Amino acid sequence: MKLTVFGASGGTGVEVVRQALAAGHQVTAVVRDPARLDVPSQARLEVVTADVFDPAGLVPAITGREVVISALGPREKGPSVICRDGTSSVMTAMGTAGVRRLVVVSNSGMHSDGDGWFTRQLVKPLLIRMLREAYADMGEMERRVSASGLDWTIVRPPKLTDKPHTGRIASETSGNVRGSFTISRADLADYVLRAAGNPGLAGVAVSVAGG
């Protein structure tokens, strides 16, 4: 596949880039600071520096690609619009470039469908209060993506870890994965790439967790 990855220098984005290259895909990594992308230079990797809030500036990085992957997220705590407005810019650029397939990383923490009673009634309300600003940003992003008319997939992981890649990933399309509350960034990247190549997941939000 020919992929464009936004948020490519972040914890999840860099794993997506590494695994995509290892699988033989062509990758355009869009970053704010190329020095933060910890991936060796190679023929199938193009690194583009761009402002994610400038749709016109993103078009060249998307034109001719098959799938756009967004792992955008804030680097610091506090109010942010990087997910909602950054993803909106990406989608606008996709419309100009004529690319329809979009996979975005969100989170399962702000959703309760499928959770057990203890998690739903006690854990999630506390989590939502603690992370309300980040969840507000991602929640609005999800609403915009769902209404975009693109061939989108939203991937919702729980708490992310830096543990090694295992390939053991549980997924659920009717609610959150029960009984598993973490996933490694490497396994999340694995699933994101699986979703990117699966047109049957277009128009679907998928919760994932470590298997």
Q: Which two tokens stand for residue 139?
A: 């929640």
| Model confidence band, residue 109 (pLDDT cutoffs 50, 70, 90) | confident
Which CATH number goes with the domain that contains 198?
3.40.50.720
Instruction: Classify burial at 1, counting beta carbons within 10 Å of its beta carbon; exposed 0-12, middle 13-18, buried 19 or more.
Output: middle
Residue 112 has pLDDT above 80, yes or no: no
**Total domain count for the chain?**
1
Mean pLDDT, residues 107-131 = 63
Average pLDDT over residues 57-81: 90
The percentage of the chain sitting over the pLDDT mark of 70, rounded to a whole number, equals 88
More confident residue, 179 or 41: 41
Per DSSP, 39 falls in state S
Asked whether residue 135 carries a pLDDT value surpassing 90, the answer given is no
- Flag whether pLDDT at 76 surpasses 90: no
What pLDDT, on the 0 to 100 scale, is given for residue 29? 98
Which domain range does residue 61 map to?
2-210
pLDDT of residue 129: 58
What is the pTM for the complete model shown? 0.90
Confidence at residue 51, expressed as pLDDT on a 0 to 100 scale: 95
- The pLDDT assigned to 24 comes to 97
